[in-house]
Amino acid sequence: MKAVINIVLILTGLSLAFTSHAQRIKDAVDVAGVRTNQLIGYGLVVGLPGTGEQSPFTEQSFKTMLSNFGITMPANLKPKIKNVAAVAVHAELNAFKKVGQTIDITVSSMGSAQSLRGGTLLQTMLVGLDGKTYAVGQGSLVVSGLGAEGLDGSKVIVNTPTVGRISNGATVEREVKSPFGLGDYITFNLHRIDFTTAKNLADTINELIPGSARAIDAASVQVNAPRDINDRVSFLSVLENLEFEPASGSAKIIVNSRTGTIVIGNEVRLLAAAITHGGITVTINEVQEVSQPNAFAEGETVVTNQSSVNVSQSDARMFVFQPGVTLETLVRAINEVGAGPGDVMAILEALDQAGAILGELIII
């Protein structure tokens, strides 16, 4: 824990040393209307080496596929299809993807298939929220996981063998229209919502083109843009490479009680407070003593338990903080105390209860 806190302290010192944290506009915002769209589909993976499944919906899908090719199976015939698996296919259609271009797809087993390794996805329609087909996927799966099972039921599974991926496995069949070229302005949506950051972004753009940008709320900045699409692309290319100063984040301390991870924001300050840390250690030793009579006595061997209880208390050290103490001082003091994760959490909670933390303590 001490090493971890030392790393935090070093990182804090670096952040204080580099007070300027200019950022490109393109790294801090999204352009309204330029977004991805989620696609999903249902299909069959064939060619599995006996690791497929024998489920009702897989059989139904298999029969439907054969009927599409003019092959009709008797209603009472149950096909043996351990080399087939029903799968869900999903993908993300990026903005401005054109018809004929390809996208990556992920294939996941929906039933009891043991592995999709070695399988091939048959033609699968990928639809959007409106129910229309936007891409068609097909191809051989790349599966990183594997599994093995013995006759006694023992299993060894590495990664996830029931999920595979096909790079460039789907071809775009329908283009999603973007509103990027519509209207008299473009809108930048901040990744991190903050009023000061929105103002700084608008001021930076106005320094280049006076009166063109306005912050409409803590998340969005509108910028007047040319109507001609070629000019608009060039205009955005210039803007997205401008650098501006995002505002510092709000003062927060994040504590993950499950992992013991503690992150203290650079803006956290303390009011006047005193902290003491001490620990009580209780050690209990059990020793068995055996009392055995001599060879000619008619006694019995007796075993008795002797308990030794020791209580020790480490030296408690108190630290007094003056108003406005920084993160660096706080971390150094905790380091000197030598507190573990649980103790640090207790100290932070106590400071918060005492109203000595100028910031928000968030425990997850």
Q: What is the pLDDT along the chain (364 residues), one digit of tens a residue?
A: 444 334 333 334 434 434 457 889 999 999 998 999 999 999 999 999 888 888 887 888 888 888 877 887 777 777 778 889 999 999 999 999 999 999 999 999 998 888 899 899 999 999 999 999 999 999 999 988 655 555 555 555 556 889 999 999 999 999 998 888 888 999 999 999 999 999 999 999 999 999 999 999 999 999 999 999 999 999 999 999 999 999 887 888 888 877 777 787 777 777 777 666 555 444 445 566 767 666 666 667 766 655 554 545 555 555 565 666 665 666 666 666 666 667 777 777 877 887 777 788 888 8
pLDDT at position 333 is: 66
pLDDT at position 322 is: 61
Gap between the Cα atoms of 88 and 43, Å rounded: 6
Beta strands in 141-279 (DSSP E): 146-149, 155-158, 163-172, 185-190, 213-215, 220-224, 243-244, 252-256, 261-264, 269-270, 273-277
CA distances from 94 to 32, 122, 264, 340 (A): 14, 23, 36, 46
pLDDT at position 271 is: 74
Quote the distance between the C-alpha of residue 87 and its chain's center: 24
Q: Is 68 exposed, middle or buried (0-12, 13-18, 19+ CB in 10 A)?
A: exposed
Paired tokens of 267? 């803006």
Question: Are 216 and 193 spatial neighbours (Cβ–Cβ below 8 Å)?
Answer: no
Domains and CATH numbers, the chain: 22-33+179-244 (3.90.1070), 37-172 (no CATH), 252-363 (no CATH)
Q: Is the pTM of this model over 0.85?
A: no
pLDDT at position 79 is: 74
pLDDT at position 255 is: 82
Question: Are 64 and 203 spatial neighbours (Cβ–Cβ below 8 Å)?
Answer: no
- What does DSSP assign to residue 63? H
Paired tokens of 241? 């490479």
Quote the distance between the C-alpha of residue 17 and its chain's center: 29
